[in-house]
């Protein structure tokens, strides 16, 4: 019997449209059977059921058209397995190989669907897809994707063997899919492996929790940069991103000028951001890339704390490891943890309240690919006086966002002759530096030609107008 017939018969034999809640969960366990399909499979209008233990292989003859007579979502994309108008459904231990003929799983107009130990691979556009409200004229609520693998490609795909019919895994134009698309609110993605997709996870709406995942962008012949996580910080965009391994790709945040965006949040905590393999030649890379799509966008309630920004110096420079450590080399790679792209818009510094970037760990320092950044930091700077005694220090590279409200020197004067350490206050005559900050540029005016090290403390970020600051 075909898979669709088995599902339909099970549905009719267990209460029709709705399985009575007092009977608990019914189970359809297919014992590891493999189904080759050329049409989409639908789980439709059924509640309180566990579907488990079967394999789906999508045929090259696959068509999105179905012979089913009931209403189905009118997606332009083709999905192998479709859940529609369901409640309290568990999918577990299911393997779907899309073969690059279809996308994986769609879940629409549902309440509480859990997907556990799921394998979806070789999808075309989406691994698992939960649509926006506007697309289905209805709501989705509480999708949990746990301990699953979503892989557009496996290493080696496209190069002979049984997988020779697939596109080459290491060519950038062949990356076409989003591993998991969350169109609506209140979802959980936890402890998953998302592998070699164009986009790993896209969070479009509020209160999504992304935690404990390994999202691998990998490398391509073109040395392309891919997005492991995309967060739409729009009028309803909010997200918790915790304890993930973001592997050789970046986290992209799209900002909005909508007033509702001020109340939303993005908390990025306790993650590992890694870069090393397949780094683009003569290109800067940012672990977190903020795309300001509107003028005067909001960046409120963004917390980037207690993360590890880790760069592997090996492989960063394909031609010369020695040159890769030379700041004057044309092959130098600069990896800045966070960048705000202002080509199409900007961040309003007065709309950065409640935001911070603090207590992160940087495995490399400037000159070794990583520029430490924080909204409250101390940086040691070697001052070499110019002819007019002034020096301009670009604070942008240290301050990721927000308005600088304080710059101070808690510095140290170093005497080469006596090897003495003296405080700034002990500098002779009137040689105490004068500081002027204009638009994240620090101008240091200093009359002496002696070199000394500045300790510069910079605080940035605004506070919400109703917040109180108490100094004790």
For domain 3-362, the question of CATH label 2.160.20 is answered with: yes
Residue 239 pLDDT = 92
Comparing 65 with 362, the larger pLDDT belongs to 362
CATH 2.160.20 residue ranges for the chain: 3-362
Query: What percent of the chain stands above pLDDT 70?
Result: 73
Whole-number pLDDT of residue 366: 54
Query: What pLDDT does residue 18 have?
Result: 44
Residue 36 has pLDDT above 50, yes or no: yes
- At residue 28, the 3 state secondary structure works out as strand
Q: How confident is the model at residue 332 (pLDDT cuts 50, 70, 90)?
A: low
Tell me what percent of the residues of the chain surpass a pLDDT of 90: 43
**More confident position, 402 or 49:** 49
| pTM (two decimals) | 0.87
Instruction: Say yes or no to pLDDT of 333 above 60.
Output: yes
pLDDT bracket for residue 176 (50, 70, 90): very high
Average pLDDT, the chain: 81
Over residues 219-237, the pLDDT tens digits come to: 898 889 999 999 987 767 7
**Listing from the earlier edge strand, what are the strands of the sheet with 441-445?**
390-394, 441-445, 434-438
Question: Is residue 325 predicted with pLDDT exceeding 70?
Answer: no
Which pLDDT tens digit goes with each residue over 409-439?
655 544 555 444 444 444 433 455 566 776 6
Q: Find the range with the poorest average confidence among 2-6, 208-212, 386-390.
A: 386-390
Burial (CB count <10 Å: 0-12, 13-18, 19+), residue 150: buried
Q: List the structure tokens of 167.
A: 């596109």
Q: Measured over all CA atoms, what is the biggest interatomic distance in the chain, rounded to whole angstroms?
A: 95
> CA 321, 278, 232: angle at the middle one, nearest 5?
130
365 pLDDT above the threshold of 70: no
Higher pLDDT, residue 427 or 393: 393
351 phi and psi angles, rounded to 5 deg:
-120, 35
């Amino acid at each position: 019997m075909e898979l669709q017939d088995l599902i339909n018969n099970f549905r009719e034999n267990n209460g029709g449209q709705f399985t009575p809640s007092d009977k608990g969960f019914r189970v359809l366990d297919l014992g590891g059977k493999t189904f080759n399909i050329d049409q989409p499979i639908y789980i439709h209008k059924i509640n309180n059921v566990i579907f488990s233990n079967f394999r789906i292989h999508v045929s090259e003859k696959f068509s999105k058209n179905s012979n089913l007579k009931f209403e189905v979502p009118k997606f332009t994309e083709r999905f192998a397995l479709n859940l529609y108008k369901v409640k309290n459904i568990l999918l577990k231990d299911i393997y779907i190989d899309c073969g690059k003929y279809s996308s994986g799983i769609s879940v629409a107009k549902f309440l509480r669907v859990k997907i556990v130990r799921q394998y979806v691979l070789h999808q075309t556009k989406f691994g698992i897809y939960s649509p926006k409200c506007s697309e289905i004229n209805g709501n989705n609520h509480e999708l949990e994707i746990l301990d699953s693998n979503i892989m557009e490609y496996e290493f080696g795909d496209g190069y002979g063997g049984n997988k020779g019919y697939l596109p080459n895994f290491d060519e950038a134009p062949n990356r076409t899919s989003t591993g998991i698309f969350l169109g609506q609110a209140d979802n959980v993605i936890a402890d998953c492996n998302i592998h070699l997709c164009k986009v790993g996870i896209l969070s479009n709406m509020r209160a999504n929790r992304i935690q404990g995942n390994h999202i691998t962008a990998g490398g391509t012949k073109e040395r392309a940069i891919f997005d492991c996580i995309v967060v739409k910080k729009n009028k309803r965009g909010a997200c918790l991103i915790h304890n993930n391994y973001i592997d050789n790709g970046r986290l992209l945040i799209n900002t909005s000028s909508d007033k509702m965006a001020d109340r939303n949040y993005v908390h990025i905590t306790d993650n590992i951001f890694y870069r090393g393999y397949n780094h683009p030649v003569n290109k800067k890379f940012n672990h977190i890339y903020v795309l300001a799509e509107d003028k005067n966008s909001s960046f409120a309630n963004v917390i980037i704390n207690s993360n590890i920004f880790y760069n592997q110096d090996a492989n960063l420079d394909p031609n010369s490891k020695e040159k890769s450590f030379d700041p004057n080399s044309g092959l130098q790679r600069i990896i800045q943890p966070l960048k705000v792209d202002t080509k199409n818009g900007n961040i309003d510094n007065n709309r950065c309240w409640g935001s911070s970037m603090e207590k992160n760990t940087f495995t490399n320092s400037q000159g070794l690919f990583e520029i430490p950044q924080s909204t409250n930091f101390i940086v040691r700077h070697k001052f070499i006086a110019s002819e007019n005694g002034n020096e301009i220090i670009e604070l942008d590279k240290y301050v990721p966002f927000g308005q600088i409200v304080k710059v101070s020197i808690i510095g140290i004067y170093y005497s080469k002759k006596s090897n003495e350490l003296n405080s700034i206050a002990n500098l002779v005559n009137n040689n105490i530096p004068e500081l002027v900050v204009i638009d994240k540029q620090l101008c240091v005016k200093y009359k002496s030609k002696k070199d000394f090290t500045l300790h510069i403390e910079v605080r940035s970020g605004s506070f919400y107008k109703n917040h109180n600051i108490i100094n004790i």
